[in-house]
Amino acid sequence: MQNLEAFKTLISSPKKVVITTHHKPDADALGSSLGLAGYLKKKGHDVAVITPTDYPNFLAWMKGNDEVIIFNEGNEDKSEGLVNNADMIFCLDFSSLNRINELGEMVRNTECTKVLIDHHLEPEDFADFIYWSTGAAATAELVYDLIVDLGDKNLIDKDIAESLYAGIMTDTGSFKHPNTTRNVFMVCAELTTLGADTAKVSKLVYDTNSLDKVKFLGFALNEKLKVLEDYNTAYFAISAEELKRFNSKTGDTEGLVNYALSIEGIKFAAVIIDRTESVKMSFRSIGDFSVNEFAKKHFEGGGHKNAAGGKSDTTLEETVNKFESVLKEYKSELSTKIKTYA
Ligand code: 5GP
Ligand code: MN
């Protein structure tokens, strides 16, 4: 952070703080938010965490989960009051205000100190303090580094350490993606020293599936996976009826895209899901193909080079047709063989 001393002075006296994170928070969004909330509470601040929407149950173990205010579950007025009365608003794990739905304009229009902590590409210019790096694997890693920069490492307790660890673990795909840097290992080593039970976190995040979720996975792998060999691309398209049939809950489709990406030779993977209000898409790639650019250009989205998301306001079928048709633009890029490690 450029003006770290000014920031340090600002947080040295009690403030009314709001922390918010992106639509459908994942482990990094929620873990970085609750980790930061735990720290700021210890510093004597009055902290509220507001999420635009709900999030998966497998994140509910995080300390502070019980106090999270879910904006679109009847908390619109309460959230607006908190945003308008805040001295400081922290925006975590997103780079543009449209990622927090109606909350975005409330945050934009209120006069208070705004802080952006994030690792997505192309941050919007709205914050007074920015702690941002696309070199960070996770926002949780940045929250850890910021607390250390502020000289407060000793305030990171077991609960904070576990929330932060969860964010780093998931955003690196369990330390598999190329964003798994030396700093990631160093931070995680420190988090274990500070009390994080890493086996517990991974069990709670990955191995608490409902039977419905596992059966849905089987169905999707057997019947919904489509491979476009000429494009080294694989995708799933899931209808609203199929989600309903498997009693799908928030988070039940998370990770599905990785099965498509795990097929040997596949460079580009997508999951296209009819969420009724719109069709949501998750994109992943291996190597130089930028899914951030792809999502931004064709599906009103963005994210990172190798992991991004987007949406479409047409039907599932029309979205799938558009997806297959725009792929043609990338044929030469996608059809070349993937570099292997062998
Ligand atoms: P996921 O596919 O797991 O939902 O998202 C992958 C990455 O892309 C995450 O870093 C997420 O924050 C980002 N992302 C997902 N959907 C969108 C979107 O609609 N717009 C933008 N800008 N980023 C997105
Ligand atoms: Mn993240």
Does residue 137's CB lie within 6 angstroms of at least one atom of ligand 1?
no
Report how far ligand 2's centroid is from the alpha carbon of 255 (Å): 14
Please report, in angstroms and rounded to a whole number, the separation of the first and last CA atoms in the chain: 41
Does residue 29's CB lie within 6 angstroms of at least one atom of ligand 1?
no
Tell me, yes or no, whether 146 and 78 share the same domain.
yes
Tell me, yes or no, whether 150 and 220 share the same domain.
no
pLDDT digits (tens, 9 = 90+) for 272-287: 999 999 999 999 999 9
Does residue 56's CB lie within 6 angstroms of at least one atom of ligand 1?
no
Tell me, yes or no, whether 147 and 215 share the same domain.
no
Tell me, yes or no, whether 56 and 164 share the same domain.
yes
Q: How many CA atoms lie within 13 A of 207 on its CB side?
A: 5
Query: What pLDDT does residue 103 have?
Result: 98
Q: Rounded distance, CA 301 to CA 97, Å?
A: 12
Does residue 64's CB lie within 6 angstroms of at least one atom of ligand 1?
no
Answer yes or no: is pLDDT of 342 > 80.
Answer: no
Please identify, among 161, 181, 206, the residue that sits at the C-terminal boundary of a domain: 206
Look up the domain containing 40 and give its range.
Answer: 4-206
Strand partners, 309: 282, 302
In which residue are the tokens 């482990």 written? 27
Report how far ligand 1's centroid is from the alpha carbon of 257 (Å): 13
Q: Which of 206, 278, 272 is nearest to 234 (CA)?
A: 272
Tell me, yes or no, whether 201 and 216 share the same domain.
no
The interaxial angle of helices 139-149 and 182-193, nearest 10 deg, is 70
Residue type (1 letter), 192: T
Tell me, yes or no, whether 88 and 186 share the same domain.
yes
Pocket probe for ligand 1: among 32, 120, 290, 297, the residue whose CB has the most ligand atoms within 8 Å is 120
Asked if residues 66 and 174 have their Cβ atoms less than 8 Å apart, the reply is no
- Whether 161 maps to a domain, the answer reads yes
pLDDT band for position 69 (50/70/90)?
A: very high
Report how far ligand 1's centroid is from the alpha carbon of 303 (Å): 5
Helices (H), the chain: 4-10, 27-42, 76-85, 103-109, 139-149, 158-171, 182-193, 198-206, 211-219, 240-245, 256-261, 291-298, 316-327, 331-335
Non-local CB neighbours of 207 within 8 Å, separated by 6+ positions: none
Number of domains comprising the chain: 2
- Whether 84 maps to a domain, the answer reads yes
Does residue 307's CB lie within 6 angstroms of at least one atom of ligand 1?
yes
Please identify, among 183, 206, 229, the residue that sits at the C-terminal boundary of a domain: 206
Tell me, yes or no, whether 119 and 230 share the same domain.
no
Mean pLDDT of 99-125: 97
**Complete DSSP assignment for 223-276:** IIEEEEGGGTEEEEEE-HHHHHHTT--TTTTTTHHHHHHTSTT--EEEEEEE-S
Answer yes or no: is pLDDT of 340 > 90.
Answer: no
Does residue 173's CB lie within 6 angstroms of at least one atom of ligand 1?
no
CATH assignment at residue 27? 3.90.1640.10
pLDDT digits (tens, 9 = 90+) for 296-309: 999 999 999 999 99
Please identify, among 163, 183, 206, the residue that sits at the C-terminal boundary of a domain: 206
Strand partners, 279: 274, 312
CATH assignment at residue 305? 3.10.310.30
Structure ipTM: 0.97
Answer yes or no: is pLDDT of 339 > 80.
Answer: no
Tell me, yes or no, whether 176 and 286 share the same domain.
no
Answer yes or no: is pLDDT of 26 > 80.
Answer: yes
- Whether 341 maps to a domain, the answer reads no
Report how far ligand 2's centroid is from the alpha carbon of 127 (Å): 18
Asked if residues 165 and 196 have their Cβ atoms less than 8 Å apart, the reply is yes
Q: Rounded distance, CA 339 to CA 20, Å?
A: 39
Q: In Å, what is the CA distance from 151 to each residue of 46, 147, 205?
A: 21, 7, 30
Phi-psi region of 99 (alpha: psi -120 to 50; beta: other; left: phi over 0): alpha
Query: What pLDDT does residue 214 have?
Result: 97
- Whether 150 maps to a domain, the answer reads yes
pLDDT band for position 43 (50/70/90)?
A: very high
- Whether 73 maps to a domain, the answer reads yes
Q: Rounded distance, CA 250 to CA 229, Å?
A: 31
Query: What pLDDT does residue 233 have?
Result: 98
By percentage, how much of the chain surpasses pLDDT 70? 99
In which residue are the tokens 């517990």 written? 200
Report how far ligand 1's centroid is from the alpha carbon of 155 (Å): 31
Q: Rounded distance, CA 98 to CA 105, Å?
A: 8
Tell me, yes or no, whether 159 and 221 share the same domain.
no
Tell me, yes or no, whether 187 and 244 share the same domain.
no
Tell me, yes or no, whether 171 and 98 share the same domain.
yes
Tell me, yes or no, whether 188 and 263 share the same domain.
no
- In this prediction the pTM is 0.96
- Whether 339 maps to a domain, the answer reads no
Beta-strand pair 307-312/279-285:
antiparallel
Asked if residues 260 and 266 have their Cβ atoms less than 8 Å apart, the reply is yes
